[in-house]
């Protein structure tokens, strides 16, 4: 953790990752040391459990003011437009994803130049790969020719982060998250969203229509593992890190059909079908199984949840609130 007091800003604190990460960071570092950066959505759990600021991360002056006011040492920069939403408005996706990231890096570069601690976590994704990368055991270093604007912002962002590390010494760390499955906050506008939606629909309505084919396989991870991996990477010794681009990160890979069958074991009357839409093409352009041996070797990554454990935990968490709602 270093010899300084952590003062953290989480941007996108109301989002799928941010809502859970903010609460975990508040448990670890003390609520008063973790500022939730929110924009439009203001979830109760977040704004009632610690300090928050309304920030538009595409405006650098707001980030700078927040970082100076709260003496921030570390930013977890999670604001992003996801893959399917990005295809509907590529200008917006580029603007939000790239302008925000550059703003965060520039503010932390200024802090570094003034002699303060300047750490950044920024997520990349399996979407950084394109159709010509190996689909199975996709290596850490391989061709990266994504065919979505979201993927283009992820590859560009990885390069930008690496540059700010090399040139300005900003301590930037990153992972390529798989599709993330969570029980607290819905993802929005992603391609891997079916793996979350299925739980809500199965419990509430007993039926789900997948927007991908049954044989669609993607790397996935349960949110408690994703939060743990993020904190492990941020806690890792600088010398242990062999890349500043972005670590491949994995936990499990399964097909949409296998997921449906596993859900059905817990909800016997559950029925499902498959009606692929434009998101099928996005899923088909991504890896099926990721090789994350660098993360395992460099900072000791190991997942706790596979398909079976994840499904049973999701249902246990969601059923009480959804069943009779």
Stretch that binds ligand SER, among 71-79, 187-195, 239-247, 313-321 (CB under 6 A): 187-195
Q: Is 249 in the site for ligand SER (CB under 6 A)?
A: no
What is the rounded CA–CA span in Å between residue 125 and residue 107?
A: 24
Q: Does 190 bind ligand SER (CB under 6 A)?
A: yes
Query: Of 52 and 150, which has the nearer Cβ to ligand SER?
Result: 150
Read off the DSSP letter of residue 185. Answer: S
Asked if 182 touches ligand SER (CB under 6 A), the answer is no
- Strand ordering across the sheet containing 247-248: 124-125, 175-177, 247-248
**Residues 136-175 vs ligand SER: string with x where CB under 6 A?**
--------------x-------------------------
* CA–CA separation, 295 and 181 (whole Å): 20
Question: Which runs of E-coded beta strand occur in 96-251?
Answer: 119-121, 124-125, 171-173, 175-177, 179-181, 207-210, 217-222, 247-248
How many alpha carbons lie under 13 Å from residue 233 in its C-beta half-sphere?
A: 30
Q: Contact 289/250 with Cβ under 8 angstroms? A: yes
Contact between 185 and ligand SER by CB under 6 A: the answer reads: no
Q: Give me the catalytic one of 52, 76, 116, 150.
A: 150
- Is 150 in the active site? yes
Q: Which is nearer to ligand SER, 58 or 148 (CB)?
A: 148
State which of residues 108, 127, 250, 290 lies at the interface with ligand SER (CB under 6 A).
Answer: 127
Number of residues counted as binding ligand SER (CB under 6 A)? 10
252 interacts with ligand SER by CB under 6 A: no
Binding track, positions 24-63, relative to ligand SER; x by CB under 6 A: ----------------------------------------
Closest CA to 267 of 325, 303, 222, 312: 312
Separation between Cα atoms, residue 295 and residue 313, nearest integer Å? 25
Q: Parallel, antiparallel, or unpaired for β 124-125 and 217-222?
A: unpaired
Q: Using the minimum distance from each CB to ligand SER, give the nearer residue, 58 or 192.
A: 192
Asked if 253 is part of the footprint of ligand SER (rule: CB under 6 A), the reply reads: no
Residue from 100, 103, 191, 253 binding ligand SER (CB under 6 A) = 191
Angular region, 101: left φ>0, alpha ψ -120 to 50, beta rest: alpha
> How far is the C-alpha of 43 from the C-alpha of 259, rounded, in Å?
29
CB 161 within 8 A of CB 120: yes
| CB nearer to ligand SER: pick between 249 and 315 | 249
In the region spanning residues 72 to 111, those forming contacts with ligand SER, defined by CB under 6 A, are 82-83
* Residues with active-site annotation: 150
The contact set with ligand SER (CB under 6 A) reads 82-83, 125, 127, 150, 177, 179, 190-192
């Amino acid at each position: 953790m270093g010899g300084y007091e952590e003062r953290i800003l989480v941007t996108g604190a109301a989002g799928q990752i941010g809502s859970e990460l903010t609460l975990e960071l508040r448990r670890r570092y003390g609520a008063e040391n973790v500022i939730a950066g929110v924009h439009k959505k203001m979830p109760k759990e977040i704004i009632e459990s610690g300090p928050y600021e309304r920030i538009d991360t595409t405006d650098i002056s707001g980030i700078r003011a927040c970082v100076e006011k709260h003496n921030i040492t570390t930013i977890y920069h999670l604001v992003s437009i996801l893959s399917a939403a990005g295809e509907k408005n590529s200008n917006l996706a580029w603007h939000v994803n790239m302008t925000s990231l550059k703003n965060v890096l520039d503010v932390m570069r200024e802090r570094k130049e003034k002699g303060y601690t300047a750490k950044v976590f920024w997520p990349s994704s399996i979407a950084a790969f394109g159709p010509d990368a190996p689909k199975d055991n996709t290596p850490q270093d391989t061709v990266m020719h994504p065919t979505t604007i979201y993927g283009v912002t992820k590859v560009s962002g990885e390069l930008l982060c690496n540059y700010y590390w090399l040139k300005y010494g900003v301590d930037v760390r990153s992972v390529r998250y798989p599709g993330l499955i969570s029980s607290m906050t819905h993802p929005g506008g992603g391609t891997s969203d079916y793996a979350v939606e299925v739980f809500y629909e199965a419990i509430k309505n007993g039926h789900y229509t997948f927007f991908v084919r049954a044989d669609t396989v993607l790397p996935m991870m349960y949110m408690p593992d994703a939060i743990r991996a993020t904190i492990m990477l941020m806690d890792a010794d600088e010398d242990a890190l062999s890349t500043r681009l972005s670590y491949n990160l994995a936990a499990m890979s399964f097909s949409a059909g296998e997921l449906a069958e596993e859900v059905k074991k817990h909800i016997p009357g559950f029925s499902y079908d498959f009606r692929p839409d434009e998101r099928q093409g996005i899923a088909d352009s991504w890896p099926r199984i990721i090789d994350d041996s660098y993360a395992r070797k460099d900072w000791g990554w190991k997942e706790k949840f596979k398909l079976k454990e994840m499904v049973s935990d999701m249902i246990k968490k969601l059923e009480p609130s959804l069943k009779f709602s």
